[in-house]
C-alpha cells in the first residue's frame, strides 16, 4: 500500500533494525523500545488489522512468532518473560494501520504495564539499536 509506513519498511524504502525476515513476515525493532528488545512482527501482506486476516494468513504469521519470541528472549539473559500484544483500531491504541504483533520483553515482576506504550527512542543511539538487533539475530534458530 502506497501510504503505509510498514509496507515501506518491507520494501526497504524506510530503514529498520530487522531481526528476521522470510516470505511471510518481517520482524524488526520497535523504534520506541517500550522495554529493551521490543520487536514488531508484521505480515508482508498489507492487512490493516486482525479483522482482515483469513485462516491461512493467521496460521502462517502466528506459526513464526514463537521462534522470533525465543530469539528475543535469548538475546538478553535478564529477560524473564514477554507480552505479545496486538492492537486493533485506534480505540485500542493502534497507531499504524498495517497489522503487527508487539513482542515486549519483561524484566521484572513490577514493570508498569503502561511502559509498553512509552517512547524511549530518545535514549537509544543507532549503536544501541544495532547491538540489540545483532544479539537477537545471533540467537535466531535456523
Q: Which residues are catalytic?
A: 100
Backbone angles phi and psi of 27, in degrees to 5: -125, 135
Check residue 44 for interaction with Zn ion (CB under 5 A).
no
The interface partner of residue 46, options being ligand AMP, Zn ion, none and the CB cut-off 5 to 8 Å by kind, is Zn ion
Q: Give Cα 32 to chain centroid, integer Å.
A: 11
Nearer CB in complex with ligand AMP: 1/5: 5
Residue 94 partner contact from Zn ion, ligand AMP, none using kind-dependent CB cut-offs of 5 to 8 Å: ligand AMP
For residue 58, CA distances in Å to 90, 97, 109, 130 come to 21, 17, 31, 30
Nearer to Zn ion, 6 or 17 (CB): 6
Contact between 30 and 24 (Cβ < 8 Å) = no
User: Which set of grid coordinates corresponds to residue 24?
Assistant: 511471510
Query: Does the protein bind ligand AMP through residue 58 (CB under 6 A)?
Result: no
> What is the binding site for ligand AMP (CB under 6 A)?
5, 14, 16, 30-32, 87, 93-96
Amino acid at each position: 500500500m502506497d501510504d503505509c509506513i510498514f509496507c515501506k519498511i518491507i520494501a526497504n524504502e524506510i530503514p529498520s533494525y530487522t531481526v528476521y525476515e522470510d516470505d511471510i513476515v518481517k520482524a524488526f525493532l520497535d523504534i520506541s523500545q517500550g522495554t529493551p528488545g521490543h520487536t514488531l512482527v508484521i505480515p508482508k501482506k498489507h492487512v490493516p488489522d486482525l479483522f482482515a486476516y483469513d485462516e491461512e494468513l493467521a496460521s502462517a504469521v502466528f506459526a513464526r512468532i514463537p521462534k522470533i519470541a525465543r530469539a528475543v528472549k535469548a538475546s538478553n539473559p535478564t529477560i524473564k518473560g514477554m507480552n505479545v500484544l496486538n492492537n486493533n483500531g485506534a480505540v485500542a491504541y493502534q497507531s499504524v494501520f498495517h497489522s503487527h504483533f508487539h513482542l515486549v520483553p519483561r524484566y521484572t515482576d513490577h514493570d508498569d504495564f503502561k511502559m509498553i506504550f512509552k517512547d524511549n527512542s530518545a535514549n537509544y543511539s543507532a549503536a544501541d539499536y544495532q547491538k540489540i538487533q545483532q544479539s537477537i539475530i545471533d540467537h535466531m534458530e535456523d
